[in-house]
């Protein structure tokens, strides 16, 4: 307690100046029994706070503020009583009372702390302007750190960023005074940290993300309890995964007292899931085992995030639903939930959730994100765009909504607009690789290989373990004809995908692309292996893959197989020009290959069927009624062998279809469709990417 007086006020929290500061030694959080067992005042129970326990008023010191709370033995001063009254009214959200009494107390004492509390009342009732003008009305108020803090907050609420920045200063003024860490004594959040947080908030809104990041980091360094700053840092991905992990080790958890271990673990569980999976797992394990927090929403959320990054959407969805069952209105989980539903095609649930949100929280941007996602998943792009843009209007810093907004353009192939929207998201989320990845993908689609590679490289700097990113890098190298490098990237991507334990679309498109690389690299058997893998895993039959298999078989001379596969491809997408061209060629080759068919197949089959043939001949010789059998055969002909050939309509134009179009060199032709195909392959991978990104963005 003695130290209190020495500590500069920025090391205190507002607990310090609250009227009850010294009365909460032991039993603060115990709600007092309603009719008092032991009365302090004349009228029992009537003037006692329902929130704070007064009987414990063991006040024995003067704090820096002059809130002289007398020792319990002494009766309270009138001002003191009014303060309690004001405070209780505030706690019970009876703002008129609080305002009325607070005003009177302030008038009586003219104390900055009383001004602070009155301003609190105004602030709580949403009257930021009034709070701010009160707090800046007198110079002595402005001197108080707490008053300054609240005034700055009011300005932030009023979106007067420059004024707010003036008030809190461009950098932390206290940093130079004391390098040493002072523990706040009261267990609250140091005002210094809070002010740093406000500074970060202001910078973030001024789009000065570098400074915002520094301010937030400073806030947490000053007081680890400033979770607000921490969550801003993490949820906006202001740091790269590695930075995050480095940062968390530099924090000073002493401020959290006995809870330091717990806080460390909890913070750890929030970190990026791209790195140090074992540590995450360990943290989660300890939290579950020792603190019995396994069912806590935040732990579950961390688990959901992890599953999400692994692309394990089913599990992730079930965790999300578990959280929502416990806490229907949990907003933190909603982005994950929406993404999973979008990914898994849960349109109906998306619809329901979007409606629930719209009913209960019409002003929350998350609501409009949900609605946008719903429209996106039923492919109503225009509507989706409208709602994503509404979400960004409500919160201009809502990165997910920006990405969704960009996706709507990308889905319609409007690359320029998509790029500008992604670029905006990239500024909002400097710490994630996703926006850069999207930008790279858009440029890739526009065939700006160099630009695309730059973006992808930037993305690779941030996160080098994302299979999607590696996949895109592979595609770029493929386009540049660097097959060795492309193969390397795809292999790496496969490694990453395997590590992430996913069997999703990502995995499939990587395999398919790897197959294309092998195909171009003249390793047909390896390529076939890859494509067959894809077909084995793939949920939908992809005509592009089938066409590629057809092409390889055609090259290898397996015409029958090629024709078969190409037919399958055309059955899936009847208008695929590549497949039909390949089919034409395959049939053409089959025609020229007729001799070998007759020789090899004919002989082999006859041999296989020899016993039957012999048997039949024996039989026919035996009964010798050849004639009878013949009539039956011709009768059968009438049904099963309708003699269509006789009625052939003479349509000469048809022959044009089958004629080889021109005799250009096979190579150039092939190059054409390989390019064509690859483009398609690429597109399909992009689509996959987008779907997944989408989720991440959400």
Q: According to CB under 8 A, which residues from 540 to 569 bind another protein?
A: 540-541, 560, 563
> DSSP readout, 635-688?
HHHHHHS--GGGG----TTHHHHHS-S----HHHHHHHHHHHHHHHHHHHHHHH
Structure letter (DSSP) for residue 10: G
Judge residue 277's burial from the number of C-beta atoms within 10 Å of its C-beta, 0-12 exposed, 13-18 middle, 19 or more buried.
Answer: middle
Q: Can you tell me which of 91, 393, 605, 675 binds another protein, judged by CB under 8 A?
A: 605
Interface with another protein, residue 609, by CB under 8 A? yes
What are the CA-CA distances from residue 250 to residues 100, 225, 441, 693 (Å)? 47, 14, 36, 32
Nearer to another protein, 608 or 671 (CB): 608
Determine the Cα–Cα distance for residues 199 and 235; give it in Å rounded to an integer.
17
Interface with another protein, residue 619, by CB under 8 A? yes
Q: Which of 691, 53, 116 is nearest to 376 (CA)?
A: 691
Q: Can you tell me which of 281, 525, 636, 670 binds another protein, judged by CB under 8 A?
A: 636
Q: Which of 202, 242, 235, 199 is nearest to 218 (CA)?
A: 199
Beta-carbon count within 10 A of 107 CB: 10
Interface with another protein, residue 649, by CB under 8 A? yes
What is the x/- site pattern for another protein, positions 6-45, by CB under 8 A?
A: ----------------------------------------
Nearer to another protein, 393 or 571 (CB): 571
Which two structure tokens, joined as six digits, stand for 85? 């009254």
Structure letter (DSSP) for residue 557: T
Q: Can you tell me which of 378, 393, 633, 671 binds another protein, judged by CB under 8 A?
A: 633
Which two structure tokens, joined as six digits, stand for 65? 């503020």
CB of 671 to another protein, least distance (A): 24
Q: Can you tell me which of 615, 670, 671, 675 binds another protein, judged by CB under 8 A?
A: 615
CB of 603 to another protein, least distance (A): 9
For the chain, give the number of residues.
Answer: 698
Structure letter (DSSP) for residue 75: P
Interface with another protein, residue 414, by CB under 8 A? no
Binding span for another protein by CB under 8 A among 136-144, 364-372, 407-415, 655-663 = 655-663
> Could you tell me if 441 and 449 are in contact, meaning their C-beta atoms sit under 8 angstroms apart?
no
Interface with another protein, residue 642, by CB under 8 A? yes
Interface with another protein, residue 606, by CB under 8 A? yes
Phi and psi dihedrals of 366, rounded to 5? Answer: -55, -40
Interface with another protein, residue 604, by CB under 8 A? yes
Q: Tokens 């303060």 correspond to what residue?
A: 83
Which two structure tokens, joined as six digits, stand for 495? 């490694």
Q: Which of 362, 337, 361, 363 is nearest to 349 (CA)?
A: 337
Interface with another protein, residue 278, by CB under 8 A? no
Determine the Cα–Cα distance for residues 517 and 407; give it in Å rounded to an integer.
28
CB of 231 to another protein, least distance (A): 36
CB of 605 to another protein, least distance (A): 4
* Angle ∠(642,647,650) on CA atoms, nearest 5: 140
Interface with another protein, residue 91, by CB under 8 A? no
Nearer to another protein, 450 or 636 (CB): 636
Nearer to another protein, 66 or 318 (CB): 318
Which two structure tokens, joined as six digits, stand for 184? 């706040």
Binding span for another protein by CB under 8 A among 111-119, 197-205, 471-479, 652-660 = 652-660
Determine the Cα–Cα distance for residues 218 and 238; give it in Å rounded to an integer.
14
Nearer to another protein, 175 or 347 (CB): 347
Q: Can you tell me which of 632, 661, 662, 663 binds another protein, judged by CB under 8 A?
A: 632
Interface with another protein, residue 590, by CB under 8 A? yes
Q: Which of 407, 391, 394 is nearest to 354 (CA)?
A: 391
Q: According to CB under 8 A, which residues from 340 to 399 bind another protein?
A: 345
Axis crossing angle, helix 78-91 with helix 95-109, rounded to the nearest 10: 150
Interface with another protein, residue 539, by CB under 8 A? yes
Q: Can you tell me which of 66, 295, 601, 671 binds another protein, judged by CB under 8 A?
A: 601
What is the x/- site pattern for another protein, positions 493-532, by CB under 8 A?
A: ----------x-----------------------------
Beta-carbon count within 10 A of 243 CB: 16
Interface with another protein, residue 319, by CB under 8 A? no
CB of 533 to another protein, least distance (A): 12
Q: Can you tell me which of 38, 249, 575, 612 binds another protein, judged by CB under 8 A?
A: 612
Interface with another protein, residue 587, by CB under 8 A? yes
Nearer to another protein, 254 or 604 (CB): 604
H-only helix segments in 290-377: 297-309, 313-326, 334-344, 347-360, 365-377
Determine the Cα–Cα distance for residues 524 and 375; give it in Å rounded to an integer.
42
What is the x/- site pattern for another protein, positions 127-166, by CB under 8 A?
A: ----------------------------------------
* Contacting positions for another protein (CB under 8 A): 345, 503, 535-541, 560, 563, 571-572, 584, 587-588, 590-591, 594-595, 597-599, 601-602, 604-606, 608-609, 611-616, 619, 626, 629, 632-633, 635-642, 644-645, 647-649, 651-652, 654-655, 657-658
């Amino acid at each position: 307690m003695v130290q209190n007086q020495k500590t500069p006020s920025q090391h205190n929290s507002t607990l310090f100046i609250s009227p009850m500061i010294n009365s909460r030694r032991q039993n603060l959080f115990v709600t007092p029994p309603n009719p008092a067992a032991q009365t302090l005042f004349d009228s029992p129970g009537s003037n006692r706070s329902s929130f704070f326990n007064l009987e414990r008023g063991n006040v024995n010191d003067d704090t820096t503020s002059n809130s002289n709370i007398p020792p319990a033995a002494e009766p309270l001063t009138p001002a003191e009583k009014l303060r309690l009254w004001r405070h209780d009214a505030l706690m019970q959200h009876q703002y008129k009372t609080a305002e009325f009494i607070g005003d009177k107390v302030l008038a009586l004492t003219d104390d900055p702390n009383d001004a602070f509390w009155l301003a609190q009342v105004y602030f709580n009732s949403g009257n930021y302007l009034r709070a701010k003008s009160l707090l800046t009305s007198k110079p002595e108020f402005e001197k108080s750190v707490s008053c300054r803090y609240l005034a700055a907050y009011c300005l932030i609420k009023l979106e007067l960023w420059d004024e707010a920045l003036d008030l809190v200063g461009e950098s932390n003024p206290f940093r130079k005074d004391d390098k040493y860490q002072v523990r706040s004594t009261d267990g609250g959040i140091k005002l210094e940290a809070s002010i740093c947080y406000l500074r970060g908030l202001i910078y973030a809104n001024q789009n000065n993300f570098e400074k915002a990041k520094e301010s937030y980091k400073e806030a947490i360094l000053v007081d680890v309890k400033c979770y607000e700053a921490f969550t801003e840092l993490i949820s906006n991905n202001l740091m790269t995964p590695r930075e995050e992990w480095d940062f968390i080790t530099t924090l000073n958890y002493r401020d959290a007292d006995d809870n330091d271990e717990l806080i460390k673990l909890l913070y750890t569980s929030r970190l990026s899931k791209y790195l140090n999976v074992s540590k995450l797992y360990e943290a989660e394990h300890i939290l579950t085992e020792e603190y019995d927090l396994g069912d806590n929403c935040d732990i579950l959320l961390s688990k959901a995030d992890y599953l999400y990054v692994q692309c394990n959407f089913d599990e992730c969805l079930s965790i999300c639903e578990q959280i929502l069952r416990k806490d229907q209105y949990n907003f933190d989980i909603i982005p994950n939930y929406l993404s999973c539903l979008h990914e898994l095609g849960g349109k109906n649930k998306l619809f329901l959730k979007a409606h629930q949100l719209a009913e209960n929280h019409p002003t929350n941007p998350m609501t409009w994100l949900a609605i946008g996602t719903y429209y996106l998943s039923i492919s109503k792009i225009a509507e989706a765009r409208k709602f994503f843009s509404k979400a960004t209007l409500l919160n201009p810093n809502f990165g997910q909504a920006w990405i969704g907004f960009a996706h709507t353009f990308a889905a319609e192939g409007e690359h320029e607009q998509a790029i500008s929207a992604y670029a905006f998201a990239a500024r909002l989320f400097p710490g994630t690789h996703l926006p850069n990845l999207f930008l790279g993908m858009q440029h890739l689609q526009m065939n700006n290989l160099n630009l695309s590679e730059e973006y992808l490289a930037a993305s690779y700097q941030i996160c080098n373990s994302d299979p999607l990113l590696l996949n895109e890098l592979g595609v770029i190298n493929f386009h540049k004809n660097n097959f060795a490098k492309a193969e390397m990237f795809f292999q790496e991507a496969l490694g990453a995908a395997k590590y992430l334990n996913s069997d999703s679309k990502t995995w499939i498109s990587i395999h398919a692309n790897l197959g294309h690389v092998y195909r171009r690299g003249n390793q047909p058997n390896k390529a076939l292996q890859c494509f067959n893998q894809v077909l084995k895993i793939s949920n939908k039959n992809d005509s592009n893959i089938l066409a590629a298999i057809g092409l390889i078989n055609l090259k290898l001379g397996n015409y029958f197989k090629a024709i078969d596969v190409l037919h399958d491809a055309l059955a899936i997408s009847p208008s695929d020009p590549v497949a039909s061209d390949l089919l034409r060629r395959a049939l053409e080759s089959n025609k020229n290959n007729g001799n070998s068919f007759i020789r090899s197949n004919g002989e082999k089959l006859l041999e296989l069927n020899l016993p039957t043939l012999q048997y039949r001949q024996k039989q026919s010789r035996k009964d010798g009624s050849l004639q009878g059998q013949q009539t039956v055969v011709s009768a059968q002909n009438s049904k099963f062998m309708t003699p269509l050939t006789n009625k052939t309509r003479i349509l000469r134009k048809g022959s044009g279809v089958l004629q080889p179009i021109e005799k250009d060199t096979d190579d150039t032709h092939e190059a054409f469709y390989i390019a064509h195909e690859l483009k398609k392959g690429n597109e399909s991978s992009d689509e996959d990417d987008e779907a997944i990104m989408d989720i991440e963005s959400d």
